Chain A
Amino acid sequence: MSAPLTTQPGFTRALAAVRGGEIGLLRAVALDLVAVGGGDALQGLRIEAIGVLRAVTGPSSVELQAHSTSDGGATTFLGRAGHGVVVNAHVSVVAGERRECLRATIRLVGTHGSVLVDLLRPRLDVRTAAGMRHPSFGARRAEVSPGDAAEALTAIAASARSGQTISITW
């Protein structure tokens, strides 16, 4: 079974903390997703990034500046959501045989505390003479679910090309 990142248990616990006021009012969100795979992995990852951010901020307009490498393998953006929440994300793919993400973290910063979620946990730490591996357990990591982020992604790409801030809605 695979599931979208928005159902990852650490993430849902963190969302509950925001909604329950455990960290006060949400002020900022930072997301990093770095996967291993081919070009198709990147598109899926970007869609997932938008889905995760939207789950945190709720539907919102966002004024942002994006950057992309010329090969399109890495995208970063920083912006301000309509209600003043600072949002930023980095999404990239390292070429290689598809396997678990190299990095997947989200940090939610509130007026009265913050939460950092390693989206790759829970996982085991297996060390042998051959080396180290970290098999995850529980809900299997995502095969990306198609989302409706196409417009936002097009606008993000346009900002990276022009070097100017743009306004999007997610």
Chain B
Amino acid sequence: MTDHGMPLGIGIVGVGGIALSHMAALRTMTSAQLVAVCDVDASRAAEVAHAERCEGYGSVEALLADDAVEAVIVCTPNMTHEALGVQVLAAGKHLLMEKPLAMTPAGARAVANEAAERGLALAVGHSHRFSDQSVAIREVIDSGEIGTPRFVRVVMNGGWIWPGWQAWVLNPALSGGHSLHNGTHLIDLASWWIGEPATSVFSVGQHATSESLEIYDYLVMELGFANGASAVCEISRGERPRSASYLELTVVGTKGVVSREWDAEGVLAWTDTGLTAWAADGFAERVFVRELEAFVASSRSEAEVIPPVSAAIHAVDVAAASETSLREGRTIEIGASV
């Protein structure tokens, strides 16, 4: 039983790159507390546990057997999500699954069904929903000021982030390809802002960094919607220079446009490296704190989960169809291919 006066006991499975962001957020929160971590690399788990002053386990089973763990954040590679998700929920723990929910539409539904049957909270880490700018754009849409949205452009282009992109990300069999690995973030934003699920996807990709890559590090997905709206989602990890970082969020409605301008960070700097726009501090930290606060609230049945599970499943459906579109060079109807 969760005692609402006490912080929610959180366990993290897989303490690699993104777990650091969750741990940093947890340190600033009073509604939740990191009580345990585990990793297949037991020494890594022990090292993190020592630094975070929590329990460290070398197996998921051991972490799930810890009664102090009421909810789990799964931060492991994408190919493990379905099995680990079902395992965590079967152990009676609430689950925040890092995106994507699973690598296949069937896998996403298997995890969602497990949560529904057990009455447990299932959130998926579509963290961009929690950014200041994403929330502000949604507020403008909800106000009616730009009319009915009929086009969304989301661009997240960056340079190569080696060694952040470990071998598993580059292997489509382990990551699901770029549509699933990063594309799900953009798909989620686009359908959230348009206000309904996409009905088709057409994608083109390039091996921008190297022809020998098996994933498309540069990917553009065009989504179609039943109401005639469309979205172009462009994601790249292959830009040069490597420091390149370009974010664009635009929604065009029947009455106007809302867009996050190129100088939205508010700081333009001329230095020896040329003209650069600097981001304001604290942005990334707020995203993860908000995501975790929302997860805690849904675990305690105080709020609906964000995004709704149906949206997280939809993101997997579209991403899987996008990978099919890349392979077959044609437009894929959502639902028809899965």
- Using CB atoms and an 8 Å cutoff, list the residues of chain A in contact with chain B: 24, 27-28, 30, 32, 34, 63, 65, 67-71, 73-74, 76-80, 84, 86, 88, 90, 92, 94-95, 102-103, 107, 109, 111-114, 116, 118, 163-165
Report the separation of the CA atoms of residues A63 and B328 in the bound assembly, to the nearest whole angstrom: 13
B218 touches A65 (CB 8 A): no
Mark out the residues of chain B between 152 and 207 whose CB falls within 8 Å of any chain A CB in the assembled complex.
153, 155, 157, 200, 202, 204, 206
Report the separation of the CA atoms of residues A114 and B155 in the bound assembly, to the nearest whole angstrom: 13
Chain A residues closer than 8 Å to B228, beta-carbon distance: 67-71, 74
Chain A residues closer than 8 Å to B227, beta-carbon distance: 69
Report the separation of the CA atoms of residues A63 and B330 in the bound assembly, to the nearest whole angstrom: 10
A92 touches B252 (CB 8 A): yes
Which of A73, A88, A114, A165 contacts B246 (CB under 8 A)? A114
Chain A residues closer than 8 Å to B33, beta-carbon distance: none
B315 to chain A, nearest CB (A): 19
B155 touches A111 (CB 8 A): no
Which of B153, B200, B253, B259 contacts A163 (CB under 8 A)? B200
Main secondary structure of the interface of A (DSSP, over half): strand
A76 touches B220 (CB 8 A): no
- What 7 A-B pairs are tightest by C-beta distance, nearest first? A69-B228, A78-B222, A67-B230, A65-B202, A76-B230, A74-B150, A112-B240
B335 to chain A, nearest CB (A): 13
Report the separation of the CA atoms of residues A24 and B209 in the bound assembly, to the nearest whole angstrom: 13
Cβ of B276 under 8 Å from chain A = no
Interface size class of B (residues with CB under 8 A): 35 or more
Are A116 and B206 CB-contacts (below 8 A) given A69-B228, A103-B257? no
Report the separation of the CA atoms of residues A88 and B220 in the bound assembly, to the nearest whole angstrom: 9
B220 touches A95 (CB 8 A): no
B218 touches A90 (CB 8 A): no
Chain A residues closer than 8 Å to B255, beta-carbon distance: 94-95
Chain B residues closer than 8 Å to A107, beta-carbon distance: 155
Q: Which of A28, A76, A95, A114 has the most CB of B within 10 A?
A: A76
Chain B residues closer than 8 Å to A90, beta-carbon distance: 151, 153, 230, 232, 252
Are A27 and B206 CB-contacts (below 8 A) given A67-B228, A76-B232, A92-B150? yes
Residue on A with the closest CB to B205?
A: A86
Mark out the residues of chain B between 228 and 277 whose CB falls within 8 Å of any chain A CB in the assembled complex.
228-232, 234, 236, 239-241, 244, 246, 250, 252-257, 259, 262
Which of B236, B250, B254 contacts A95 (CB under 8 A)? B254
B234 touches A30 (CB 8 A): yes
Report the separation of the CA atoms of residues A16 and B320 in the bound assembly, to the nearest whole angstrom: 39
A27 touches B208 (CB 8 A): yes
Residue on B with the closest CB to A69?
A: B228
Which of A70, A74, A79 contacts B252 (CB under 8 A)? A74
Q: Which of B230, B231, B254, B256 has the most CB of A within 10 A?
A: B230
A113 touches B240 (CB 8 A): yes
A65 touches B252 (CB 8 A): no
Report the separation of the CA atoms of residues A114 and B244 in the bound assembly, to the nearest whole angstrom: 9
Are A34 and B252 CB-contacts (below 8 A) given A78-B220, A113-B240, A163-B331? yes
A69 touches B229 (CB 8 A): yes
A165 touches B202 (CB 8 A): yes
Chain B residues closer than 8 Å to A86, beta-carbon distance: 204, 206, 218, 220
Are A65 and B254 CB-contacts (below 8 A) given A30-B234, A109-B157, A163-B331? no
A94-B254, A109-B236 given; name 11 further pairs at CB < 8 Å: A24-B240, A65-B331, A67-B230, A69-B229, A74-B151, A94-B253, A103-B257, A103-B259, A111-B240, A113-B241, A116-B262
Cβ of B224 under 8 Å from chain A = yes
Which of B151, B230, B331 contacts A164 (CB under 8 A)? B331
Which of A79, A114, A163 contacts B157 (CB under 8 A)? A114
Report the separation of the CA atoms of residues A69 and B225 in the bound assembly, to the nearest whole angstrom: 9
Which of A71, A79, A109 contacts B204 (CB under 8 A)? A79
Chain A residues closer than 8 Å to B244, beta-carbon distance: 113-114
Residue on A with the closest CB to B150?
A: A74
Chain B residues closer than 8 Å to A71, beta-carbon distance: 228
B224 touches A102 (CB 8 A): no
